[in-house]
Homo-oligomer: A and B are copies of this chain.
Amino acid sequence: MKVTINDVAKLAGVSMKTVSRVINKEPSVRKKTYDLVMSAVNELNYQPNIAARNLAGTSSFAIGLVYDNPNAYYVIDMQNGVLSRCKDEGYELVIHPCSYLDDNMQDEFKTMIKRSRLAGLVLTPPLSEQQSIIDMLDELGVQYVRLLSGREGDISERNNCILVNDFAAAYEITEHLISLGHKRIAFVLGDKEHKSTSERLAGYHQALKDHNIEPCDDLLYEGSYSFESGVNGAKELLKDGNPNMITAILGGNDEVAAGALFAARLMNIDIPSELSITGFEDSPFSRQTWPKLTTAHQANDVISEHAARLLFSKARGSRKQDKDIKTTFTPSIVIRESTGPAK
């Protein structure tokens, strides 16, 4: 019934170890031997047993994806990106959602790592930004790659980081609005614990500055990355008697923007003739709102796939950075119907 490495070795007329070398793509196996083994592998339809590999080897054949993010679209994209790489490499993916507010999260996390002996971890924001987590992983000697909001050359230890340039994205979005004649541009910010929030804010400020527009704190709403926050933020910013004459709102992400859109509708404000709204990320539902959202496209599946690439390359201990791995991503603006000329 079940085919083991020994069966393959016997059929190919080589030692078990040589088969092991072949399936692990180790160097110094003669081409002829390689082919011999491979045909035996195919004939028997041999599948190496992951548990045995994990047990015998120094590192395991599984990596973990750790996230604390309520956004389903984001998580699914992350998973799929990492998964596609895992499949190519013959690894398993252990998913680990967790709440970084939870006190024993860190312990639980540690337990998981010890149990599964993961080859490495992909960390997404905001966990990837937590120093205590990073310290723990360093102490445990676990490989990891961090997905971070930041600009090129931002981080000293950037050789295990994948950066998303939210600064540039926000700059570009803001500039787009300015070019449409907007001057009173509000911003419903995401969770302030997220680095992306401060990066996006910085990009927004820089764009205003470069175009000689005075920033104003009254135009900022400190919210979170949720639909509700978008609703509340927009209501607050647009409420009667607000002297700000807001003509555009940047949503912290697409969900927030969708919430703002929702609030605008409640208040009978027409988009985009009376108010322009923008998002970030270009998640599917930025195309499902009415009108569709102008946003900054961020290919999360591609990004996470590169994170996995980087992790594998590190795990293999390759000195030189693999040329195919891109470590900085800059979202680019997608103009749809939620933005228009300032009234």
Residue ranges of A at the interface with B (Cβ–Cβ < 8 Å): 2, 47-52, 54-55, 60, 72-73, 75-76, 79-80, 83, 90, 92-95, 97, 111, 114-117, 227, 258-259, 261-262, 265-266, 284-285, 287-288, 290
Question: Which residues of B sit under 8 angstroms from A114, Cβ to Cβ?
Answer: 2, 47
Contact (Cβ within 8 A) B76 A288: no
Q: How many copies does the complex hold?
A: 2
Which of B49, B75, B83, B266 interacts with A115 by CB under 8 Å?
Answer: B49
- Inside 8 A of A97's CB, which chain B residues have their CB? 79-80, 83
Give Cα A51–Cα B60 distance, bound, in whole angstroms: 9
The 5 A-B pairs with the shortest beta carbon distances in the complex, nearest first, are A51-B54, A72-B72, A47-B114, A72-B76, A51-B55
List of B residues within 8 angstroms of A79 by Cβ: 95, 97
B-chain residues with CB within 8 Å of residue A75 when the two chains form the complex: 72, 76
- The residue that A92 contacts in the complex, of B48, B116, B287, with Cβ under 8 A, is B116
* A50 pairs with B95, CB closer than 8 A: no
| Nearest CB of chain B from residue A159's CB, rounded to whole Å | 26
The smallest C-beta distance from A258 to any residue of chain B, in angstroms, reads 6
- Chain B residue at smallest Cβ distance from A79: B95
In the bound complex, residues from chain B placing their C-beta under 8 Å from that of A284 are 72, 227
What are 14 A-B contacts defined by CB distance under 8 Å?
A: A2-B114, A47-B111, A47-B115, A49-B115, A50-B116, A51-B116, A52-B55, A72-B73, A83-B97, A259-B288, A262-B288, A262-B290, A285-B288, A290-B290
CB of A117 within 8 A of CB of B49, answer: yes
Q: Which residues of B contact A117 (CB under 8 A)?
A: 49-51
Question: Considering the chains assembled together, what is the distance between the CA atoms of A285 and B287 in angstroms?
Answer: 13
Chain B: minimal CB distance from A254 (Å) = 11
Picked from B55, B76, B265, the residue with its CB within 8 Å of the CB of A76 is: B76
Given A51-B52, A90-B115, 18 other A-B contacts at CB below 8 A?
A: A47-B111, A47-B114, A49-B115, A50-B51, A50-B54, A51-B51, A51-B60, A51-B116, A55-B55, A72-B72, A72-B73, A75-B76, A76-B76, A83-B97, A93-B95, A227-B284, A265-B290, A266-B290
Chain B residues with CB under 8 Å of A80's CB are 97
Considering residues A227, A266, A284, A288, which has the most beta carbons from chain B within 10 angstroms of its beta carbon? A288
Q: Give CA–CA (A117, B50) in the complex, Å.
A: 8
The docked-state distance in angstroms from the alpha carbon of A287 to that of B230 is 13
Residues of B within 8 A of A111 (CB): 47
A292–chain B nearest beta-carbon distance, Å: 9
Residues of B near A265 (CB, < 8 A) are 290
Chain B residue at minimal CB-CB distance from A290: B265
Chain B residues with CB under 8 A of A290: 261-262, 265-266, 290
CB distance from A81 to the nearest CB of B (A): 12
